Homo-oligomer: A and B are copies of this chain.
Amino acid sequence: MNAIDTMLQHRSIREFADQPVAKETLDQILAAACNGSTMGGMQLFSIIVTQDKEMMRKMAPAHFNQPIATNAPLILTFCADFHRFDRYCECRNTPTDAYHNLQAYQWAVTDALIAAQNACVAAESLGLGICWLGTITYNTPQFIDILQLPKHVIPVACIPMGYPAHPDTPLTPKISNSTLIHHETYREYSEEEINTAYATMEQAPNNVNMVKENHFHNLAEDWVLRRYKKEDNEYFSDLLQKTITEQGF
């Protein structure tokens, strides 16, 4: 499918048809993933392909047992990876201590996410559905253990994919593009613009129901007090910081 049409028709798919992903389809997705931009040509990422249901079941608890973590035929986990580059340097008797820092992490995260988004666009252009699992950066120690990631490798994106069970899944309501875009410099948002920008999302039936069920006043409370709570975020931030340090960045 045409690239722009593919991206404009993106929606998250969390249920998949009982249809495997053919090897040649997977190969096309991976080829697109591997051909994105990369910091200085260093290609600081790796992709772990999960197709074994037993491996999915092992990872599921770290994904908080979301059904999508086991019901997809295929999961791609994208890792920020300086380990392979370290191995290259070792083989050329070159020191590798220049990359034990935040810039190295930022570059490798960027390379991994470029690859991940290419994979998503490729998959969607071939008729597959995808959904990012934010849990991958929460429970990094468990994923590192299960996927046997060496030092200097951290998982940063996890994308189950497969043919949609419901191909007519509607688009997700979003903030209007003009609100996300600034020309030349950042302009401050007036209360009026904020109200207009979030109205579509506040009025979406799913969100209206969620706010009602949880006895909140508005969508902001549902996000802040239930979905992405301070204590959880702080707990998982400490864990991620510990992983970044322990993995040698």
Provide the residues of chain B in CB contact with A134, threshold 8 Å. Answer: 39-40, 107
**Complex CA–CA separation, A97 to B41 (angstroms):** 38
- How close is A189's CB to chain B, nearest CB, in angstroms? 5
Provide the residues of chain B in CB contact with A51, threshold 8 Å. Answer: 183-184
Partner of A185, one of B37, B148, B173: B148
Q: Are A10 and B30 in contact (CB under 8 A)?
A: no
**Total copies of the chain:** 2
Task: Answer yes or no: A62 CB below 8 A from chain B CBs.
Answer: no
Partner of A7, one of B95, B121, B217: B121
Task: Answer yes or no: A21 CB below 8 A from chain B CBs.
Answer: no
Task: Answer yes or no: A60 CB below 8 A from chain B CBs.
Answer: no
**Complex CA–CA separation, A28 to B237 (angstroms):** 36
- How close is A181's CB to chain B, nearest CB, in angstroms? 5
Closest 10 CB pairs of A and B: A3-B125, A98-B230, A92-B220, A117-B117, A101-B237, A102-B237, A7-B32, A94-B220, A3-B3, A113-B113
